Amino acid sequence: MASEHSDHADPLFPTQLKILVAGGFGVGKTTFVGAVSEIAPLTTEEVLTAASAGTDDLTGVHAKTTTTVAMDFGRISFPTKNLVLYLFGTPGQDRFWFMWNELSRGALGAVVLADTRRLDNCFGAVEFFEARGIRFIVALNEFDGAHRYELDEVHAALRIGPHVPVVRCDARDQRSANQTLITLLESVLARAGHTTAHHAANPASAEPAGTHGSTQ
């Protein structure tokens, strides 16, 4: 949890949290971020240089190609609480896993947006977060004309356990996207063994059984 290096109570800076928004290309990550962010989504890029595979060059100088990885992100500030929540969209192309690693550092969890037209496009994200023990929920972004999934169908299709919340979401709608974030946060709290007052007062609610230290 808290690192001894960081000064979280520093009055000069707000406390930060970070949530990732993942999912396949075109699923609506930027739309989702834009729906909740207090600023229009920004794009930040990292440039990386790859040595090409050629081994014929006897001088040992390899050709280089540069690739740009772009990430859209947004922000929600809570000034009265001295908090700021950042929402980072994962890179559109799945192959930039190293960037996902950097993005994942310190992230409290992720929203995996699932496109009901192409559900398998979020397999990569699901596997990534499961492998690293990062808490996530699946949010079905429903497109017109697509198959309407029952939530347990999604659990089966994505091979995720019942403790992973699957919710419906309209990425364009602020309230819907907001509620999705709340669901993720509550899920993270529940998995850590804490409950919010809402759930404590309503024990019959569909709260996934928190199992401490269990793997997904």
Cβ–Cβ < 8 Å for 55, 64: no
* In the complex, minimum distance from the CB of residue 145 to another protein, in angstroms, rounded to a whole number: 31
147 vs 194, beta carbon nearer another protein: 194
Buried b (16+ CB within 10 A) or exposed e, 27-55: bbbbbbbbbbbeeebeeeeeeeeeeeeee
Cβ–Cβ < 8 Å for 111, 180: yes
* In the complex, minimum distance from the CB of residue 202 to another protein, in angstroms, rounded to a whole number: 15
* In the complex, minimum distance from the CB of residue 57 to another protein, in angstroms, rounded to a whole number: 13
Judged by phi (left if over 0) then psi (alpha if -120 to 50, else beta), residue 112 lies in: beta
On the 0-12 / 13-18 / 19+ scale of CB atoms within 10 A, 148 is exposed
35 vs 119, beta carbon nearer another protein: 35
Residues that bind another protein (CB under 8 A): 1-3, 5-8, 10, 12-18, 42-53, 55, 68, 71, 73, 75-76, 78, 81, 83, 85-86, 88, 95-98, 101-102, 105-108, 174, 178, 181-182, 185-186, 188-189, 192, 194, 196
Question: CA 181 to CA 110: how far, in whole Å?
Answer: 9
* In the complex, minimum distance from the CB of residue 109 to another protein, in angstroms, rounded to a whole number: 9
121 vs 178, beta carbon nearer another protein: 178
117 vs 216, beta carbon nearer another protein: 216
* In the complex, minimum distance from the CB of residue 62 to another protein, in angstroms, rounded to a whole number: 10
